[in-house]
Amino acid sequence: MSQFFGCIALRSDVDLDLISQKMASALAYFEPDQAGFYQTEKVFICNKLLFNTPESVNTPLICQNNRFVLAASVRLDNREELAAKLKLDENLSDHEYLLKTFETYKEKCVEHLLGDFSFVVWDKQSHELFMAKDHLGIRPLFYLKNQDMFLFSTGIPAIKAAFDQPLPLNREYIAYELKNFQPPVESTFFKDIFRLRPAHYLYFDPEKDLGRETLYWELSAADISHLKTDEERYAELRRLFSEAVKCRIRTIKNIGCQLSGGMDSSAITVLVSRIAGLEKLHTFSFVLNEKTRRFSEKGIDEQGTQKDMIEYAGLDMRNHHPVDDFFYKDAFEEKAHVNQVMGGHANSDCIWQTPLFKKSQEYKVGVILSGFPGDECVSNYGSFYFHDYIYQRNWKALFRFFREFKLRAIKNVLMYYLFKIIGTFSVDYFKIQKKRNLLKKDSPYHKTLKDSIFSSQPSFKHYLKAQVCRPHTTLRTESEGAYALQYGMETAYPLADIRLLQLVYSLPSEMFKPVPVSRIVFRTMCKDLLPDSVRLQPKHSGALTLAFAEYRMKRNLEDMRDYTIKDRFGMIIKEDLYQMNAREMMRKAGQRYSIDYMTELNS
């Protein structure tokens, strides 16, 4: 994984040397193995390279040929296919594979790529810039255009640093955050900085206006008619799951797995142990300790399940590392670090992962695998499988659904139509919104903003697609990746492999019917991967992914007790948050309490 940044001057008086220095200094928190630089009077491009794979050590510092210059953050999963198609040496780096693919297919290159990537290609001949991003937006890429220059970077801080004056804040984005809605994926904390959307590419010609982003992929059903039986479908699921893990553990360093104790991360851990062996595998788990346990409402974590998995997989206990505390001295240091790495506040920010990444660095981990985004698609609970009966007007199947689930079925169908009317499955949603919404009722955004997670989902396939392709997938993975990068590693998500997602999306909805238990597809798929104590476990323990989350929130709020919320935009509800008890305060405020503090940092 790499970081890159650059600038195209649109006026002759733009000082490219100064801008490049400013942008480089803003990304100084990431120390690359090496960095490469390309510059002319009109453009500069910098690629900061991390050498994690066997091929990456061969990466040219600036990957270019007679016509094109490429900078990328990339892991390609179909190297063998590209090598055969383009007659490439297997020892070439992913950057070189990517450049050759672009040279051969131009903008159609994205249709030949599998993996996580964001990249730019500068055409020395036509003076055009091509930008592209992977299917789910795992790797970040941002851009800004004004009358002086076009800036791009894998990190917002680099773009901010190019300006002497604070950039205008994006009030609508801030309103989304205050209202606890998911903002559009292309928007950021800053009015003029945009995120390149997942599965899109963009051409920029300095002589013309900024072009429109072009969509090149959507999650769609594949023809699986050759898979005649459920047994054949499960065999193919297992094959693709194994392949999704295998292609993500190409590293010359150690391999890390986030072992929460849930099915997703546990199954990935077992597959890694079988494919790569035990010696290079290190597991990391968030747990409670004596200090943090008393802040936890239920006082439980998943150490029992983690122990079951370690014993089942035969893992080396010396390579299992509990993570039980946050290392920032106070909330202000934490928020300052958010600003340094992410360049602004977001409700999807994953700084809570940094203790795990910091611990991973101690054991020379090059890539760390996560179970996200599991239950969004591959390990989905299946509760809405019956949507297809209504969508397809399959009244016989719907009658069988009523007969099997009785009152529960009637309730679910009523909820389906309720969603179509008011835009949510939960009748309690608006009550929750009132408690979590910090937006003034007279704000112009209060009634106009729409929550993007509640789009039309008339069928089960619509629902699956909306869940896994929603902005949260992009926002979380790019945030985790940024924090991991500063500790010299990349993040990888086997359950976001688009080959696996497409197969799951193509399965008959009946396979997801939550009988005898929910998440039946994934549980059945993992029959030979997990012990029944884990595979069949009900997920109602109340344990949090970040075991000491409640301690962290309480500590942050205590640290900021004397901080006065300023309402410079006229959007925030005026009230004394500290009149609430601690539990209500945490639920209502959480990270959102720091929004104005982050506004001060950003401006």
Number of domains in the chain: 4
The reply to whether 497 and 540 lie within a common domain is yes
In a domain, 373, yes or no: yes
The reply to whether 407 and 434 lie within a common domain is yes
How confident is the model at residue 562, as a pLDDT? 80
The reply to whether 460 and 500 lie within a common domain is no
The reply to whether 84 and 171 lie within a common domain is yes
In a domain, 237, yes or no: yes
- Give the span between the Cα atoms of 100 and 79, in whole angstroms: 12
* Token pair in block for residue 222: 């594949």
Query: Contact, 14 vs 8, CB < 8 A?
Result: no
Element (H, E) at 244: helix 230-246
How confident is the model at residue 580, as a pLDDT? 40
The reply to whether 528 and 558 lie within a common domain is no
Report helix, strand and coil shares of the chain as percent, to nearest 5: 40, 15, 45
The reply to whether 10 and 96 lie within a common domain is yes
In a domain, 221, yes or no: no
- Give the span between the Cα atoms of 98 and 101, in whole angstroms: 5
Provide the terminal-to-terminal Cα distance of the chain, rounded to the nearest Å.
30
How confident is the model at residue 588, as a pLDDT? 43
pTM of the model: 0.92
Catalogue the E-assigned strands of 87-157. 115-123, 129-133, 142-145, 149-153
In a domain, 225, yes or no: no
The reply to whether 347 and 419 lie within a common domain is no
The reply to whether 398 and 527 lie within a common domain is no
- Cα 283 → chain centroid: 20
Element (H, E) at 215: strand 214-215
- Shortest CA distance to 259 belongs to which of 251, 268, 250? 268
Query: Contact, 58 vs 92, CB < 8 A?
Result: yes
The reply to whether 368 and 448 lie within a common domain is no
Domain end call among 215, 247, 281 = 215
- Shortest CA distance to 529 belongs to which of 282, 255, 273? 273
The count of other CB atoms within 10 Å of the CB of residue 275 is: 14
Range of the domain at 334: 230-378+471-547
How confident is the model at residue 100, as a pLDDT? 97
pLDDT profile of the chain (603 residues), mean per 10: 93 94 93 93 95 88 95 96 96 96 97 97 96 97 96 97 94 89 92 97 90 94 94 97 96 95 94 95 95 88 90 93 93 92 89 96 96 94 92 93 91 83 62 76 84 73 92 95 95 97 96 93 94 81 85 89 77 57 43 40 39
How confident is the model at residue 285, as a pLDDT? 96
The reply to whether 282 and 259 lie within a common domain is yes
The reply to whether 108 and 177 lie within a common domain is yes
In a domain, 520, yes or no: yes
How confident is the model at residue 597, as a pLDDT? 39
- 256's CB contacts (< 8 A; 6+ apart) are 281, 282, 283, 284, 360, 363, 365, 367, 368, 369, 489
Read off the CATH number of the domain in which 211 is found: 3.60.20.10
Domain end call among 215, 238, 261 = 215
Q: At what angle do helices 498-506 and 230-246 cross, to 10 degrees?
A: 160
* Token pair in block for residue 468: 């896994």
The number of residues making up the chain comes to 603
- Cα 438 → chain centroid: 25
- Shortest CA distance to 287 belongs to which of 485, 504, 547, 6? 547
In a domain, 91, yes or no: yes
Sign of the CA dihedral running 77, 31, 252, 95: positive
Read off the CATH number of the domain in which 532 is found: 3.40.50.620
Phi–psi pair at 568, nearest 5 degrees: -65, -20
In a domain, 169, yes or no: yes
Query: Contact, 564 vs 576, CB < 8 A?
Result: no
Domain end call among 215, 244, 275 = 215
Q: Which residues of 181-206 are buried (b: 16+ CB within 10 A; e: fewer)?
A: bbbebbbbbbeebbbbbbbbbbbbeb
The reply to whether 98 and 168 lie within a common domain is yes
- 188's CB contacts (< 8 A; 6+ apart) are 142, 156, 170, 173, 194, 195, 343, 344
Element (H, E) at 39: strand 34-39
How confident is the model at residue 538, as a pLDDT? 76
In a domain, 222, yes or no: no
